[in-house]
């Protein structure tokens, strides 16, 4: 096997490369500029749009605070878990579609198969944690990313590195220690995914001694820049479903 | 399932004191549904209640000292493996990179603990650093143990200490995946990495026979 290690690749570089790749692939023809450039130029505006998208998707805006409090989960924790759930839906969908299309190299497909199964398990685990506060999956359109080796790799590295960084940001911000205990068991698996895909493509799996956190804002920006979310799901709002099991 | 066990056990102390056992009996049932691993699926039990003692600075010190033991062990292991010179190619590169990370973790924890940092024990690694096969096997074990140890204590830490521990365990997870891939094992064998109790981690360390009798 060739030497793994090229050089230290920072989150910023990962982000920049991913943005370039997504532009090159031109997912929906709507990416006029690289996401990284867009973030620098109109950071506030993009963030507002990104977060509005996510908030709509995750139903954060319609959070039923009283219902959550009645079950001992804070509004804060539910918001964090809902954010994670949408992200896990997105990743599970991405890897599952790549596996189904089968157009990537065998090694990458092997990674997608295992990691896709993990992300689907994470979806279920977070749904269980949320109980009635869960949110439905949006519809995704991954464009060519699930069938183009180079685009897939960049996207996978970016999402795994950033998801791990996001969970590091969230963990100390959770109120419930039970949820902390659960979320950290997912966090280290995301770091394994990141290291593994990096190893496959010849990037250093562990670039430094301490991994930095990345905020929900950063992740919201990334998700918005990918244009993977193609439609809003039904927003259940405050109405309770008639049958909740 | 492991992360739901031994919530109330003490850090770095494998003895089973009566108070601990009682607490465990009382609280065990409420957390036992916390996480179940079944096939590829995981269940993070809805609303399982965390039963460990409330986070405090004093508890952070115990947990960081427990983590420091592991970091001393890892740093010494990789340091010796590099010095032995039995490794070539990527395994050697892994040992060098990871040795520097583990030394940085030791430095960080010692600084955070100040005068309360435990002393470095004596280690003896036998043939574990003398062949590539034994080295990779041992590294997989030590890195997975590190992940399980940190994950097992995360909810017992104060917010600030948790942020630091997360920055470290993240890298341990990367090491684990990297060396597992090198050793021909699954880099991410499960959808969730269960935490281990401090007692279980200490038992695993003892079983290696690496820590000198003190």
Per-residue model confidence as pLDDT tens digits over B64-119: 999 999 999 999 999 999 999 999 999 999 999 999 999 999 999 999 999 999 99
Q: Tell if the CB–CB gap between A184 and B191 is shorter than 8 Å.
A: no
Q: Tell if the CB–CB gap between B172 and A188 is shorter than 8 Å.
A: yes
CA A40, CA A221: separation in Å to the nearest integer? Answer: 11
CA A164, CA A88: separation in Å to the nearest integer? Answer: 12
pLDDT at A124: 95
Distance set, CA A52 to CA A38, A68, A95, A223, B122 (Å): 17, 22, 25, 12, 56
Helix B132-153 × helix B159-182 angle, to 10°: 160
The partner residue sitting opposite A177, judged by closest CB among B50, B191, B193, is B50
B42 in any annotated domain: no
For the segment B167-178, the average pLDDT, to the nearest whole number, is 98
First to last CA, chain A: 52
B155 in any annotated domain: yes
CA A168, CA A188: separation in Å to the nearest integer? Answer: 10
Block residue for tokens 């290696």: B208
Element holding A135 (H helix, E strand): none
- Chain A closest CA to B11's CA: distance in Å? 16
pLDDT band at residue B33 under the 50/70/90 scheme: very low
Nearest CA in chain A to B153: A181
Cβ A221 vs Cβ A35: under 8 Å: yes
- Chain B closest CA to A204's CA: distance in Å? 9
Q: Which of A8, A84, A175, A195 to mutate to test the interface with B (most CBs of B within 10 A)?
A: A195
Q: With 70 as the cut, is the pLDDT of residue B199 above it? A: yes
DSSP state of B188: S
Block residue for tokens 């340091």: B79
Residues 92-121 of B with CB under 8 A from A: 93, 97-98, 100-101, 104-105, 108
**How many residue pairs from chains A and B have C-beta atoms closer than 8 A?**
197
- Chain B closest CA to A181's CA: distance in Å? 5
Closest to A102 (Cα-Cα) out of A160, A137, A140, A152: A152
Cβ B82 vs Cβ B92: under 8 Å: yes
Sign, CA dihedral B53-B54-B55-B56, equals negative
The average confidence (pLDDT) of chain B is 82
**Backbone phi, psi, residue B35, to 5°:** -145, 130
Residue B170: count of CB within 10 angstroms of its CB? 27
B129 in any annotated domain: yes
Closest to A114 (Cα-Cα) out of A133, A92, A136: A92
pLDDT at B40: 38
CA A111, CA A48: separation in Å to the nearest integer? Answer: 34
Closest to B12 (Cα-Cα) out of B102, B73, B93: B73
Q: Tell if the CB–CB gap between B41 and A178 is shorter than 8 Å.
A: no
User: Taking the domains of chain A in order of start, what are their residue ranges?
Assistant: 12-231
pLDDT at A134: 95
Residues 69-88 of B with CB under 8 A from A: none
Q: Tell if the CB–CB gap between A128 and B170 is shorter than 8 Å.
A: no
For the segment B34-49, the average pLDDT, to the nearest whole number, is 42
pLDDT at B213: 53
pLDDT at B212: 81
pLDDT band at residue B149 under the 50/70/90 scheme: very high
CA B76, CA B80: separation in Å to the nearest integer? Answer: 6
Q: With 50 as the cut, is the pLDDT of residue B172 above it? A: yes
- The number of CA neighbours under 13 Å toward the Cβ of A146 is 21
The partner residue sitting opposite A192, judged by closest CB among B50, B155, B176, is B176
B49 in any annotated domain: no
Q: Which two tokens stand for residue A164?
A: 């791990």
Q: Which two tokens stand for residue A168?
A: 């590091």
pLDDT at A18: 52
Q: Which two tokens stand for residue B126?
A: 């036998």
Domain that holds residue B61: 54-208
Q: Which two tokens stand for residue A110?
A: 């092997």
- CA A131 from centroid of its chain's CA atoms: 20
Closest to B196 (Cα-Cα) out of B135, B161, B150, B136: B150
pLDDT at B43: 52
- Chain B closest CA to A189's CA: distance in Å? 6
Sign, CA dihedral A178-B4-B168-A40, equals negative
Q: With 50 as the cut, is the pLDDT of residue B14 above it? A: no
Q: Measured between beta carbons, which residues in chain A are less than 8 angstroms from residue B45?
A: 128
The partner residue sitting opposite B159, judged by closest CB among A172, A190, A212, is A172
Q: Tell if the CB–CB gap between B46 and A126 is shorter than 8 Å.
A: no
Q: Measured between beta carbons, which residues in chain A are less than 8 angstroms from residue B169?
A: 184, 187-188, 191
Q: Tell if the CB–CB gap between A211 and B174 is shorter than 8 Å.
A: yes
For residue B150, the domain's CATH number is: 1.20.1260.10
The partner residue sitting opposite B97, judged by closest CB among A126, A187, A206, is A206
pLDDT at B157: 97
pLDDT at B122: 95
Q: Is B173 on the interface with A (CB under 8 A)?
A: yes
Q: Tell if the CB–CB gap between A187 and B166 is shorter than 8 Å.
A: yes
Q: Tell if the CB–CB gap between A186 and B192 is shorter than 8 Å.
A: yes
- The number of CA neighbours under 13 Å toward the Cβ of B99 is 15
pLDDT at A232: 55
Element holding B35 (H helix, E strand): strand B35-38
Domain count, chain B: 1
Q: With 50 as the cut, is the pLDDT of residue B128 above it? A: yes
Q: Which two tokens stand for residue A157?
A: 């590295």
pLDDT at A16: 56
Element holding B47 (H helix, E strand): none
Q: Measured between beta carbons, which residues in chain A are less than 8 angstroms from residue B188?
A: 114-115, 118, 189, 192-193, 196
| Overall CATH class of domain A12-231 | mainly alpha
CA A4, CA A197: separation in Å to the nearest integer? Answer: 11
**DSSP codes, A14-40:** HHHHHHHHHHHHTSSS---S-HHHHHH
CA A133, CA A130: separation in Å to the nearest integer? Answer: 5
**Backbone phi, psi, residue B211, to 5°:** -90, 125
Helix A149-170 × helix B159-182 angle, to 10°: 150
- Weakest-pLDDT range from A40-49, B20-29, B163-172: B20-29
pLDDT in tens, chain A (245 residues): 344 444 444 455 555 555 544 444 433 322 223 233 333 333 444 444 444 444 444 433 333 344 444 456 899 999 999 999 999 999 999 999 999 999 999 999 999 999 999 999 999 999 999 999 999 999 999 999 999 999 999 999 999 999 999 999 999 999 999 999 999 999 999 999 999 999 999 999 999 999 999 999 999 998 999 999 986 554 444 444 445 44
For residue A140, the cross-strand partners are A229
């Amino acid at each position: 096997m060739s030497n793994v290690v090229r050089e230290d690749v920072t989150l910023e570089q990962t982000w920049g490369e991913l943005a370039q790749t997504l532009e090159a692939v031109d997912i929906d023809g709507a990416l006029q500029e690289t996401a990284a450039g867009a973030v620098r130029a109109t950071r506030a505006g993009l963030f507002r749009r990104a977060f509005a998208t996510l908030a709509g998707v995750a139903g954060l805006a319609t959070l039923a605070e009283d219902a959550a409090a009645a079950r001992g989960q804070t509004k804060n924790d539910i918001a964090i878990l809902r954010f994670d759930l949408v992200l896990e839906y997105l990743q599970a969908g991405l890897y599952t579609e790549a596996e189904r299309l089968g157009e990537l190299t065998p090694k990458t497909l092997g990674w997608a198969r295992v990691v896709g199964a993990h992300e689907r398990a994470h979806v279920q685990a977070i749904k269980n944690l949320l109980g009635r506060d869960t949110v439905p999956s949006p519809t995704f359109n991954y464009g060519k990313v699930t069938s183009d080796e180079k685009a897939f790799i960049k996207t996978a590295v970016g999402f795994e590195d950033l998801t791990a960084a996001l969970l590091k940001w969230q963990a100390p911000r959770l109120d419930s220690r039970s949820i902390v205990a659960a979320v950290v068991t997912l966090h280290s698996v995301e770091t394994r995914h990141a290291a593994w895909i990096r190893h496959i493509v010849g990037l250093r799996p562990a670039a430094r001694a301490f991994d930095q956190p990345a905020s929900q804002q950063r992740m919201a920006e990334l998700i918005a820049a990918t244009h993977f979310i193609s439609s809003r799901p039904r927003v259940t709002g405050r109405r309770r479903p008639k049958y909740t099991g | 399932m492991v992360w739901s066990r031994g919530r109330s056990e003490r850090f770095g102390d494998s003895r089973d004191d009566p108070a601990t056992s009682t607490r465990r009996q009382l609280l065990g049932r409420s957390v036992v549904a916390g996480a179940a691993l079944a096939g590829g699926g995981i269940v993070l039990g809805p609303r399982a209640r965390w039963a460990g003692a409330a986070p405090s600075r004093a508890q952070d010190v115990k947990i960081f000292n427990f983590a420091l033991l592991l970091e001393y062990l890892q740093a010494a292991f990789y340091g010796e493996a590099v010095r032995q010179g039995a490794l070539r190619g990527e395994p050697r590169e892994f040992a060098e990179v990871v040795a520097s990370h583990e030394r940085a973790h030791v430095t960080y924890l010692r600084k955070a603990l100040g005068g309360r940092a435990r002393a470095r024990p004596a280690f003896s690694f036998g043939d574990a650093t003398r062949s590539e096969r034994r080295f990779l096997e041992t590294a997989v074990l030590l890195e997975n143990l590190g992940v399980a140890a940190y994950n097992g204590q995360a909810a017992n830490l104060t917010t600030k200490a948790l942020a630091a521990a997360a920055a470290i365990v993240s890298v341990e997870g990367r090491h684990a995946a990297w060396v597992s891939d090198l050793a021909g094992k699954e880099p991410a064998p499960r959808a969730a990495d269960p935490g281990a109790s401090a007692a279980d981690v200490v038992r695993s360390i003892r079983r290696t026979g690496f820590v000198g009798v003190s």
